C-alpha cells in the first residue's frame, strides 16, 4: 500500500501493526511523503488510525473495491461494512499509475527504501529515470535538481 504521510514539518510517524489476536505483527515507520508499506502490515495497522489524532495527515493511495466476502488474509477490522458488503482498499502500484501522477509522487518521496522498491518494479523508462534522479538528489542534496 502506498501511504502518504503529509503532515507539514513532520518527522517520522510510528505505527504498530496488530494481528487479529492482538499480538504485535510489526511496526511501521512513515517518513514524510510517500511510503510503500507491505499490504498485510498496513492492513494490520490501519484500524489504529481511528483514534489517532494525526489520522487526517495520512492518506492511502488506493482504489476502493466492494466485495461480498473478504479476501482470506484481509482483517475484517480493516474493512468498512456497507449494506451487507465490505469496502476494501486495494493497493495501487507505481507501475499501474499514469506517468504524470507517478512522477509527481516520486518527487514528493524521500523514503529511499520506497524509491528503491519502486525502481525494482518500474517498467517505464521515464519512471525509472525519475526515481534514479530522486535517489541521487536525496543522497547528494547539494546538487541542483
pTM of the model: 0.76
Residues 31 and 43 in one domain: yes
* 2 neighbors 33 (Cβ within 8 angstroms): no
- What CA dihedral angle connects 129, 132, 138 and 141, to 10 degrees? -60
Grid coordinates standing for 87?
469496502
Residues 125 and 61 in one domain: no
Q: DSSP code of 31?
A: P
Domain range for 72: 1-92
- Partners of 14 in the β-ladder: 29
Residues 86 and 124 in one domain: no
Each of the 145 residues of the chain gets a pLDDT tens digit; together they read 899 999 999 899 999 887 666 556 788 999 999 999 988 888 888 888 888 999 999 998 887 788 888 877 777 766 778 888 888 877 788 888 889 999 999 999 999 999 999 999 899 999 999 999 999 999 988 765 5
* Residues whose CB is less than 8 angstroms from the CB of residue 128 and which lie 6 or more positions away in sequence, other chains included: 119, 122
Residues 49 and 105 in one domain: no
Amino acid at each position: 500500500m502506498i501511504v502518504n504521510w503529509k503532515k507539514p514539518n513532520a518527522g517520522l510517524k510510528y505505527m504498530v501493526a496488530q494481528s487479529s489476536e492482538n499480538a504485535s505483527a510489526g511496526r511501521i515507520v512513515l517518513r514524510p511523503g510517500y511510503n510503500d508499506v507491505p499490504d498485510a502490515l498496513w492492513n494490520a495497522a490501519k484500524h489504529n488510525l481511528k483514534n489517532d489524532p494525526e489520522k487526517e495527515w495520512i492518506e492511502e493511495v488506493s482504489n476502493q473495491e466492494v466485495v461480498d466476502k473478504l479476501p482470506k488474509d484481509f482483517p475484517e477490522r480493516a474493512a468498512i461494512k456497507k449494506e451487507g458488503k465490505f469496502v476494501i482498499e486495494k493497493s495501487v502500484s507505481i507501475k499501474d499509475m499514469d506517468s504524470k501522477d507517478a512522477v509527481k509522487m516520486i518527487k514528493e518521496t524521500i523514503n529511499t527504501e520506497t524509491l528503491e522498491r519502486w525502481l525494482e518494479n518500474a517498467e517505464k523508462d521515464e519512471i525509472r529515470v525519475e526515481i534514479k534522479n530522486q535517489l541521487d538528489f536525496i543522497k547528494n542534496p547539494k546538487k541542483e535538481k
